Amino acid sequence: MNAAPALALAIVISGRGSNMVAIAQACARGQLAARVALVIADRRDAGGIALARQLGLEVAVIPAREYAGRAAFEAALRDAIEASGAQLVVLAGFMRILSPQFAQHYAGRMLNIHPSLLPRFPGLHTHARVLAAREREHGASVHFVTGELDAGPVVLQARVPVLPGDTAASLSARVQQQEHIIYPRAIGYIAAGRLRWTAAGPEFDSRPLREPLVEGQCT
């Protein structure tokens, strides 16, 4: 019996692309039944462009600032995704807010990773905000993208303790280590058919996913 074809990914980045690298390497090692069809950068100076090319990945640069507005940029982004044959869009350090219309077009086919335990601390500067709030726990969340910022259903989280003496930088580094674990894992669940989007929301192993999976507590 032939194996199912690898899930084709379009990874969208704005910066260094560390999660993109983690996902691409996991694909190359055969840890998940997926392949990177295209890496898209919305900035010409994104550090992840060079890393993607070093990994032998196809790269498209679609500079958002060079388009007349969000609609024109999103049209170009959508064209690139569709031309690549990608089945899943993976936002990996993508720093632009997508329109509800774009999110709706890719409903159930677009993931994001956010550096907090959503729904707590959506938006920017999460590490500094966690420290200012004197939280004891922090982490990262993989979620399906919807029209509301950082509010789509969370499917997988990793938790880290906030340690005495932590700075935003030290906390960020520890959270990012977990991001590199859980993002490939969530994509792997989709590629294996274990995590699915339905009209009622996400399902895991054919059961409604009412609470996020937690890294270290799921198999």
- Catalytic residue, chosen from 105, 114, 143, 180, is 114
d(CA 9, CA 27): 10
Closest CA to 205 of 187, 217, 215, 192: 192
Q: List, in sequence order, every beta strand (DSSP E) within 92-136.
A: 110-114
Nearest to 85 by CA among 6, 198, 186: 6
Q: How many helices (H) and strands (E) does the chain have?
A: 6, 11
Would you call 125 a catalytic residue per the annotation? no
Tell me the one-letter amino acid at 167. Answer: T
CB 142 within 8 A of CB 157: yes
Alpha carbon distances (Å) from 46 to 24, 93, 134, 182: 17, 10, 33, 23
CB 60 within 8 A of CB 86: no
Cis link prior to 119 (omega < 30° from 0)? yes
The crossing angle, in degrees rounded to 10, of helices 18-28 and 168-191 is: 40
Pairing type for strands 154-161 and 137-144 reads: antiparallel
- List the catalytic residues: 114
